[in-house]
Structure 1
């Protein structure tokens, strides 16, 4: 399936049905009175977050969605039926914004979340609605209101706890395949990854997190060079970035320090908030470095880069150091969740610890403590 993370659509809710002006006609009843019913409401257009979807490809070629209009009112006190609603299923993480103004309208962050994109028009009133003690034969009726119409931009930002970033061929796909259930395409040439891959990393029973691999970045990505700039938005919702660096490039003239600095510069150009996210350094492909040279090469790299955060030495191919890295990532995410969780409010009536602290001590004189 082709991966699509941007789409533009037009939605139109149904118009309301018109009211009816009618009078009762029955044998032996010359003045039967008004019996024109109201028109039905037009159908709404809804968006529903579906965790079984992971792309917006359904909206790449079908771009207009129009709900059914409400039926007109009829005589004999018959009201028009309301138009059927339509529900557009979208992946979790979709941002819905106004295509003309750019204003963000909704964000689908939870599976099953449902939002109203366009409201159906109300039905018009029939003359039965205007009957009163002073107006026995009303001839008024109103037309149905038009439904809302909108041009929308859909933008998918994948929901992941951890994002992998780095130059092409740094080993990000190999790493996500080694530590998760994702099976991305892996080859010995750059730009193997053409769209984001999501994987679930399990570090123990009921202990897991989601990791995302995006196409590799190159210098000038923020201005549109390469493929990675199209998918930088997918890193904006992550809570931790793992900067994967190739410590054994095929070309001896390539400087890993210069590549790492270029990645940081592109993040700052694209979004300063993204560059300010917590970032750990993951030095990959150390299995291709002679054992006696590893420690010195790592020290020189960190010193020249002037990196102050956590540094991990791994080999995604042999999985050396990967388990320790994932354990540390989970511990960090768990601590972040615990810090962000609101404090538990305990009703004083059921706070047994507080009741025990407030209880009087047993000094032998209180009759309540005697057997």
Structure 2
């Protein structure tokens, strides 16, 4: 399936039905009085977060969605039937904004979350609505109110705990295939990954996290070079970034330190807050280094980068060091998640809640 993470759609909620001006006409009832009913409400348009979807491709080809209008009121005290609502299913992580004003309409962050994005118009009043002790034969009626009409921009930001970034052919796809259930395309040429891949990493019973692999970045990505700039938004919701570096490039002219600095600069240009996220250095393909040179090469890269954070030496191909990396990542994600939770209220009858 083609990965689509942006779309524009037009939505139109249903108009309300018109009110009716009518008087009762029955045998032996000369002054039956008003009996015109109100019009029905127009249908609403809802957005529903569906965990079974992962792209916006359904909205690339069908772009207009209209809810049913409400029925008109009728005589004999008959009110109009409301119009049917419509529900648009979207992937979890979709951001909906007004395309004309740029105002945020909603964000779908939880599976099953449902939000009204266009309100149906209310039905008009029939003359029965205006009956009173001083107005015994009202002839007033009102038309139905129009439903909302909007042009909306849909933008998908995948919900992942960990994001993989690095130059093309750094081994990101190989790593996500080694540690998760994802099966991305892997080949020996750059830009094998053309769209984000999501994988669930199982650490133990009821212990897991989601990792996202985006297309490789190159220098100038924030200005449109390469492919990665199109998908950097998918890293904005992650709690941790793993910066994969090819520690044993085939071309000796390639400097891993320069590559790390180039990508860090692109992150800062794209979004300073993304640049400030926790970013761990993962030196990949260490199995390609001679055993007597490995430590010297690793220390040289870290020294030249002046990097003070966690450093991991792995081989995604042979899975060397991957288990330790997964354990440390899970511990970090778990600690961040706990720190984001509001403190539990303490019931004085039972004392403080017990830790997990």
State the TM bucket, normalised to the shorter chain: over 0.9
1:121, distance to aligned residue in structure 2 (A): 0.3
Compared CA separation, residues 269 and 81, structure 1 to 2 (3 A)? same
> Which residue pairs with 1:111 in the alignment?
111
Q: CA deviation at 1:311?
A: 0.4
Measure, in 1, the Cα distance between the counterparts of 2:165 and 2:321: 18
Q: 1:352 to 1:257 in 2, by over 3 A?
A: closer
1:94, distance to aligned residue in structure 2 (A): 0.4
Change (3 A) 1:40 1:281: same
Between 14-23 and 27-36, the greater mean CA deviation after superposition: 27-36
> Residues 150-299 of structure 1: matches in 2 within 5 Å?
150-299=150-299
Q: CA RMSD in A?
A: 1.1
Q: For 2:352 and 2:331, locate their aligned partners in 1 and report how far apart those are by CA, in whole Å.
A: 31
> In terms of Rg, which structure is larger?
1
Structure 1 residues not aligned, in runs of 5+: 354-371
Q: Distance in 1 between matches of 2:350 and 2:266?
A: 54
Contact 2:346 2:352 in 1 (8 A): no
Cα displacement (A) at 1:251: 1.6
**1:17-166 equivalence runs, <5 A:** 17-166=17-166
Aligned to 2:15: 15
Partners of 1:352 and 1:148 lie apart in 2 by: 50
- 1:90-109 deviations in Å (ceiling 9; x for gaps): 00000111111222221100
User: 1:365 aligns to what?
Assistant: none
Equivalence for 1:317: 317
In 2, Cα distance between equivalents of 1:170 and 1:259:
10
For residues 317-347 of structure 1, give each alpha carbon's deviation from its aligned partner in whole angstroms, at most 9, with x where no partner exists: 0000000000000111111122222222222
Give the number of aligned pairs: 353
- Following TM superposition, the consecutive aligned residue runs of length 4 or more in structure 1 with deviations greater than 6 angstroms are none
**Shift of the alpha carbon at 1:270?**
0.1
2:349 counterpart residue number: 349
For residue 231 of structure 2, give the secondary structure of its aligned residue in structure 1: helix
Q: Which stretch shows the higher mean deviation, 97-106 or 217-226?
A: 97-106
Tell me how far apart the structure 1 counterparts of residues 25 and 246 of structure 2 sit (CA, whole Å).
Answer: 87
CA displacement 1:127-168 (0-9 Å, x = unmatched): 111111111111100000000111111000000000000000
Q: Distance in 1 between matches of 2:78 and 2:153?
A: 40
Structure 2: tracts of 5 or more residues without a match: none
For 1:338 and 1:89, locate their aligned partners in 2 and report how far apart those are by CA, in whole Å.
31
> Structure 1 residues 352 and 73, CA, compared in 2 at 3 Å: closer, same or farther?
closer
Residues 59-85 of structure 1: CA deviation (Å, up to 9, x unaligned): 001111110000000111111000000
**TM superposition score normalised by structure 1:** 0.94
- The alignment partner of 1:282 has SS state of strand
Query: How much does 1:352 deviate?
Result: 8.8
Q: Distance in 1 between matches of 2:104 and 2:269?
A: 22
Deviation for aligned residue 1:29 = 1.9
Change (3 A) 1:326 1:65: same
Change (3 A) 1:352 1:104: closer
Q: Displacement of 1:30 after TM fit?
A: 2.1
Distance 1:215 1:318 in 2: 22
Match of 1:176, SS state, is helix
Helix, strand or coil at the partner of 2:173 = helix
